[in-house]
Amino acid sequence: MNKTIFITGTSSGLGKASARYFAEQGWNVAATMRSPEKETDLTKYSNIKIFRLDVTNLAEVQQATQDAINAFGKIDVVINNAGMGAYGALELAKEADIDWQFAVNTRGPINIIRAFLPHFRNNGGGMFINVSSFMGLTTAVPLGSLYNMSKFALEGLTEGLYYELKPLNIELRLIEQGGSTDNNFINNVVWNVNPDITVYDDLTRKLKHLFETADRSLKDDTLDIVKVLFDLATRKSNKFRTVIGNSGNGLMALRNSVPIETYLEQISQNFS
Ligand SMILES: NC(=O)c1ccc[n+]([C@@H]2O[C@H](COP(=O)([O-])OP(=O)(O)OC[C@H]3O[C@@H](n4cnc5c(N)ncnc54)[C@H](OP(=O)(O)O)[C@@H]3O)[C@@H](O)[C@H]2O)c1
C-alpha cells in the first residue's frame, strides 16, 4: 500500500516542493495550507488532496487532521513545515507579533503533534519531521531573537518528546535548513519597527540589506532539502538532526569550536 504524508504550509517554498516530490515518488499527500482556494498547481496531482489548515487554529487542526485520516485511512509521516519570521528589535515588536511568532513556529507543531498522536498510537507508530533552522541551534544575525526563540523551542520540544514517544514506536526528526532558492519566506517577514525609536535603525538596515542581497551561494537548492526529507521519511537516513547546507554547517562548526563569548563577538562584528 502507498505511504501517506501530511505536510503543513504547502502554499509555497519547501512545503510545496515537498508535496510535489512525494507525490511524484508515488506517495499519497495530504497537502495543507491556509488558502486552498488559491492553489492551482498541487490540484493537478491525483494523489494529492488539499486541506485548509492554519496551524494556529485548533478547530482547523482537528478538522484537517481528521479529514486527512478519513481520506487516506492512514498517515505514516507528518512534516511540520509551516513557519514565518518576525525580525527586528525586541523592544519594537508588537505584542501580537511576539505571540504570532510563537503561535506559528512552535505552538503550531505542538497542535499538529497532539492531533496526530492518537492516530499514531493506534497504528503502532509513525514519524514527525519538524522543519527547524540553523537559527534553532545557534544565533546567526542580530535582531532575530524572536525567530531564534521559536526554533530553539521547536528543537527542545522535539528532543524532549523523544523519550515518551520512543516506547510507542513514534519517531522524531529535525532538519535545520538555512533557506532554499525559491521560498517566499523573506516576503512574509514581519519587521518590528517604530519610527520614534531610531537606535536600532543601523542594525535593521544592515540585516534587511543582507536578506535582500543574500546570493544563491548562501542558499540551498530546494530539491536538495526535499530529498533530505524524503530520505528521512523513507528511513534511508536515521539522523535525528540534519543540518543542511554550507551556511548552517559552517556556523555550527564555528559555534562548536570556540567559546560562546568568542562566537557572539564574531557574529556581532559582522554587523558592526
Ligand atoms: N527561507 C528561509 O530562510 C528559512 C530558513 C530556515 C528555516 N526555514 C523554515 O522552513 C520552513 C518553510 O519555509 P520556506 O522557506 O519554505 O518559506 P515560505 O515559502 O514562506 O513557506 C512558509 C509556509 O508556511 C505557511 N504558513 C505561514 N503561517 C502559517 C500558519 N499560521 N498556518 C499554516 N501555514 C502557515 C505559509 O503559508 P501562507 O502562504 O498562507 O503564508 C507557507 O506555505 C519554515 O518553518 C521556516 O521557518 C526557512
Q: 38: domain CATH number?
A: 3.40.50.720
pLDDT score of 182? 85
147 in active site: yes
| Catalytic residue status for 217 | no
Residues of the chain with pLDDT under 50: none
In angstroms, the CA 110 to CA 112 distance is 6
Give residue 26's pLDDT: 98
Query: Domain tally for the chain?
Result: 1
- Is 163 among the catalytic positions? no
C-alpha cell at 255: 559555534
Task: Name every residue whose Cβ is closer than 8 Å to that of residue 265 and which is 6 or more positions away in sequence.
Answer: none
Q: How many CB atoms lie within 10 A of CB 146?
A: 23
Neighbours of 80 (CB within 10 A): 28
Cα gap 149→104, rounded to integer Å: 12
The closest-lying atom of ligand 1 relative to the alpha carbon of residue 14 is: 16
Q: Cα(269)–Cα(272) distance, rounded to whole angstroms?
A: 5
Length of the chain: 272
81 lines ligand 1 (CB under 6 A): yes
Give residue 82's domain range. Answer: 4-269
